[in-house]
C-alpha cells in the first residue's frame, strides 16, 4: 500500500501540473467525487487482491461485511461522539489550533445546486466505507496474523498518520483525536467479527463534522 502511494502521488502531481485543465476537474463536485472514488477504488482492489478474494461473496466474507453489527456498535458510536466532543472543547478554549478549512465542506459551501452534495459524499460515505474495509478489514487483520493487538494497532495508527498527515502535522488535537478513533476502531475489530461496527463508528465521527465550524477539522 505504501509503494502504491509512492507511485500514485508523483503521477497525480504530474497530471495536476502538466495536463491543462486537470486541476479544474476537482473544482466541480462530480470531478472531486470521481477522483476520490477512483483513489479509494485502487486501494480497495489492492486489498482485495492480497486478501485472495475471487468472488463478491468471498470478498464480503473476508472483510467482515456479511455479518450484522454487534452490540459493540453502540460503544463505537458513543466513543466517536466523545472523541469529537473532546476535540471541540480543546479547540474552543484555544488550547490547540484547528486544521483549517476542510476541502469537502469548502466545496459544498462555495457551490450551488445538487452537485454541491457530491463534495460531501467522499467524507460522509466513501471514507467510512472504503477506509474501514482497507484499514480494519484488511490491514489490521493482516498485521494481527503476525503481531499482537498493541503492535498491530500502532501500525494502523502510523498508517493513519501517513494518510492524514495534513491533520497530524498542524494540530496536536487533530492527531490525538484521529489516533484515539483508530484505537477504538481496532478494538471494535478485535471484539466483533462484523466490520459494520467500525463503519458506523467512522460514519458517526465524520457526520458530526457537519455540525461544527469549518475552522475546526
Q: What is the DSSP string of 14-40?
A: HHHHHSTTTGGGGGSHHHHHHHHHHHH
Q: Is residue 18 part of a domain?
A: yes
472531486: which residue's cell? Answer: 32
pLDDT value, residue 211: 82
DSSP single-letter state for residue 62: H
In a domain, 216, yes or no: no
Domain count, the chain: 1
Instruction: Kindly state whether residue 104 falls inside one of the protein's structural domains.
Output: yes
Asked whether residue 217 is domain-assigned, the answer is: no
What are the pLDDT digits (tens) for 18-43?
887 777 777 789 989 998 999 999 99
**Residue 4 CB contacts under 8 Å (≥ 6 apart), including other chains:** 42, 43, 46
Residue 115 forms part of a structural domain = yes
Residue 55 has pLDDT above 90, yes or no: yes
Cα–Cα distances in angstroms (integers) from residue 109 to residues 28, 29, 102, 119, 139, in the given order: 12, 11, 11, 9, 35
Q: What is the mean pLDDT of residues 181-189?
A: 98
Kindly state whether residue 8 falls inside one of the protein's structural domains: yes
* Residue 35 placed within a domain: yes
**Closest-CA residue to 189 (of 146, 151, 136):** 136
Query: Binning pLDDT at 50, 70 and 90, where does residue 111 land?
Result: confident
* Beta-carbon contacts of residue 123 (< 8 Å; ≥ 6 apart): 102, 104, 105, 206, 209
pTM over 0.85: yes
- The range of the structural domain enclosing residue 167 comes to 2-211
The 10s digit of each residue's pLDDT in 195-210 is 999 999 999 999 998 8
The reply to whether 176 falls in a domain is yes
Best CA proximity match to 91, nearest among 201, 156, 164, 167: 167
pLDDT of amino acid 99: 80
**Which among 199, 200, 60, 35 has a CA at the least distance from the CA of 122?**
35
Amino acid at each position: 500500500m505504501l509503494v502504491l502511494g509512492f507511485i500514485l502521488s508523483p503521477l497525480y502531481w504530474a497530471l495536476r501540473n502538466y495536463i491543462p485543465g486537470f486541476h479544474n476537474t476537482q473544482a466541480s463536485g462530480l470531478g472531486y467525487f470521481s477522483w476520490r472514488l477512483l483513489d479509494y477504488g485502487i486501494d480497495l482492489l489492492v486489498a482485495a487482491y492480497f486478501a485472495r478474494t475471487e468472488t463478491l461473496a468471498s470478498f464480503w466474507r473476508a472483510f467482515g461485511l456479511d455479518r450484522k453489527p454487534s452490540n459493540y456498535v453502540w460503544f463505537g458510536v458513543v466513543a466517536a461522539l466523545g472523541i469529537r466532543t473532546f476535540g471541540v472543547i480543546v479547540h474552543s478554549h484555544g488550547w490547540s489550533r484547528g486544521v483549517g478549512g476542510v476541502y469537502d465542506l469548502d466545496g459544498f459551501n462555495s457551490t450551488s445546486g445538487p452537485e454541491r452534495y457530491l463534495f460531501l459524499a467522499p467524507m460522509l460515505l466513501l471514507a467510512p466505507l472504503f477506509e474501514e474495509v482497507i484499514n480494519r478489514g484488511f490491514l489490521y487483520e493482516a498485521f494481527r496474523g503476525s503481531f499482537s493487538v498493541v503492535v498491530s494497532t500502532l501500525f494502523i495508527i502510523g498508517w493513519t498518520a501517513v494518510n492524514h498527515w495534513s491533520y497530524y502535522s498542524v494540530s496536536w488535537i487533530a492527531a490525538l483525536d484521529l489516533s484515539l478513533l483508530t484505537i477504538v476502531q481496532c478494538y471494535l475489530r478485535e471484539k466483533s467479527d462484523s466490520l459494520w461496527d467500525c463503519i458506523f463508528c467512522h460514519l458517526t465521527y465524520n457526520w458530526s463534522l457537519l455540525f461544527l465550524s469549518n475552522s475546526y477539522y
